[in-house]
Amino acid sequence: MMAGTRQVFAALLLALLVVGTALTASAPAATNHGDGGEIHRAAEPIAGQYVVTLQGVAPSHVPATAAGLARANGGTVLMTFQYGMSEAQALALSRNPQVASVWEDGVIHADLTQSPATWGLDRVDQRDLPLNNAYNYDVTASNVHAYIIDTGIRTTHTDFGGRASVGVDEIGDGQNGQDCNGHGTHVAGTVGGSTYGIAKAVSLVAVRVLNCQGSGSYSQVINGVDWVTSNAIKPAVANMSLGGGLYSPLNTAVTNSTNAGITYAVAAGNSGANACNYSPSSTPSVLTVAATDSSDTKASWSNYGSCVDLFAPGVSVTSDYGSSNTATAVLSGTSMASPHVAGTAALYLSSNPGATAAQVASAITGNATTNHISNPGTGTPNLLDYTGGGGGGGGGGGGATVPDAPSLSGSPATGKGVQLSWTTPSNGGSAITGYNVYRAQSSGGPWSLRTTLGVVNSFKDSSTTRGATYYYRVSAVNAAGEGSASNTVGVRAR
């Protein structure tokens, strides 16, 4: 993890408009107007709403900068970090040197599939089948907080025993963090319900970013992640059983949150496709979780690929539900798999409260059951969540380690910006899955995540001001987590 990385609220400005022209879901990934302006497209855009990433702005200056940009571009500030503007105004804003990128806001969904049958927590506490109809544990994570970034939690459910509370509600429909869908309560129950949970004494905190229909906007989810980054009581784990199309601002927000010391478990998605093509499942610093059934076979609809870290039970999972204080439901989806791993992380943090997110991830993948999954999918690690050993997820020992630091070089780019290149470091025994590029205004930081990349060895930063000097670091990521940062290079932008 990168020490000193600033939380994403220091770099994100959410630009929301109440009216605007609708854009089709088939819009291109980005529209470049040839004059330096560019708007990145969302798969399911919300008309007239934009997520704007700032650069070179200190955290304390973000609100004032937002207001100034709104005035300069004809927008009106609606609430903190949000203001209204048309697409033309958003395009003009994208040309401002204080703006790194402008993305359409878009719709994001809970990763859920309904199913009629049931099975319990039985699988994750034993290496092999058949199941023994018991779940054994030696810690309960009473010193850990679990943040459920979802549809809210029915905090009065009897299975939570008064341990559930509301952190924040980004939807603003009067529900005040309470679950009117059921999905978030089900997820919370798997993380920490006294009957259906992995970590049976963890403190559960609702971070409501999805509405009663199980949908929300990227900006609402980013706000929720930012809230966790700023307010989490550590040791802390967060679960995101939701997803949408590949969306860099969301990945950046989550990466900054893991850099702040919060472990994330994320659903791989239910499209039967490569998880690297979705957010937040493509974020390198999280534990991305695919789903298995009770025969240790990958669920047919589960996403797969190199961005997946491990599998967990996700077919016909019984847990608490939001329709009453005693309700339960049987649901399927990677939404159900992810909270198993979040609970495992809580158990590990209970015994290792000072562990970083990378150390937690390394412990869980290193302790996972190997080579038991049938048809895991191309490029997918054949690892199954396991809570035994070392207080849950955590005996570790013998697993892969994070990559070494790359060697970084940089120069003024041809045309405009800064060109970076780096060597491929030793991978620590697990294939490198991507790189994180960090940028600062001075050699000593503070550092902000500039972008997350796949397996490449170069990056051109065009979001620069001619003549300004920028400082960069790069780190490599594998299944064990994020490695050490490279050397720092300073480059004067062309």
pLDDT tens series, the chain, 494 aa = 333 323 333 334 443 322 222 222 233 355 554 556 788 888 888 877 887 777 777 767 777 876 777 677 766 544 434 445 688 888 888 888 888 888 888 888 776 443 333 454 888 988 888 877 778 887 889 999 999 999 999 999 999 999 999 999 999 999 999 999 999 999 999 999 988 999 999 999 999 999 999 999 999 999 999 999 999 999 999 999 999 999 999 999 999 999 999 999 999 999 999 999 999 999 999 999 999 999 999 999 999 999 999 999 999 999 999 999 999 999 999 999 999 999 999 999 988 888 899 999 999 998 999 999 999 999 999 999 998 864 354 333 335 677 889 999 999 998 899 999 999 999 888 788 888 898 988 887 777 788 888 889 999 999 899 999 999 999 888 766 678 889 999 999 98
* Residues 486, 364 share a domain: no
* Residues 57, 201 share a domain: no
* Residues 101, 140 share a domain: no
Residues 6+ apart with CB under 8 A from 19: 47, 48
CATH of residue 351's domain is 3.40.50.200
* Residues 444, 315 share a domain: no
The phi, psi pair for 258, rounded to 5°, reads -65, -35
* Residues 285, 177 share a domain: yes
* Residues 116, 165 share a domain: yes
pLDDT score for 99: 80
Q: Which of 153, 166, 231 is nearest to 197 (CA)?
A: 153
* Residues 153, 80 share a domain: no
pLDDT score for 111: 60
Residue 392 belongs to some domain of the structure: no
pLDDT score for 4: 30
* Residues 443, 373 share a domain: no
Residue 3 belongs to some domain of the structure: no
Amino acid at 185: T
The model's pTM is: 0.69
Residue 71 belongs to some domain of the structure: yes
Q: Which of 144, 179, 348, 380 is nearest to 269 (CA)?
A: 380
The domain tally of the chain equals: 3
Residue at which a domain ends, from 87, 106, 125: 106
pLDDT score for 43: 81
pLDDT score for 400: 60
Residue at which a domain ends, from 54, 72, 106: 106
pLDDT score for 7: 31
* Residues 326, 350 share a domain: yes
Residue 442 belongs to some domain of the structure: yes
Residue 229 belongs to some domain of the structure: yes
* Residue numbers of the domain that contains 464: 408-492
CATH of residue 487's domain is 2.60.40.10
pLDDT score for 284: 95
* Residues 260, 221 share a domain: yes
Q: Give catalytic residues, as residue numbers.
A: 150, 183, 335
Residue at which a domain ends, from 82, 106, 130: 106
pLDDT score for 398: 38
pLDDT score for 94: 84
* Residues 241, 125 share a domain: yes
pLDDT score for 28: 36
Q: Which of 354, 427, 353, 366 is nearest to 397 (CA)?
A: 366
Residue 129 belongs to some domain of the structure: yes
Residue 331 belongs to some domain of the structure: yes
User: What are the Cα distances from residue 435, in Å, to 143, 363, 421, 491?
Assistant: 33, 21, 11, 19
* Residues 337, 426 share a domain: no
Residue 318 belongs to some domain of the structure: yes
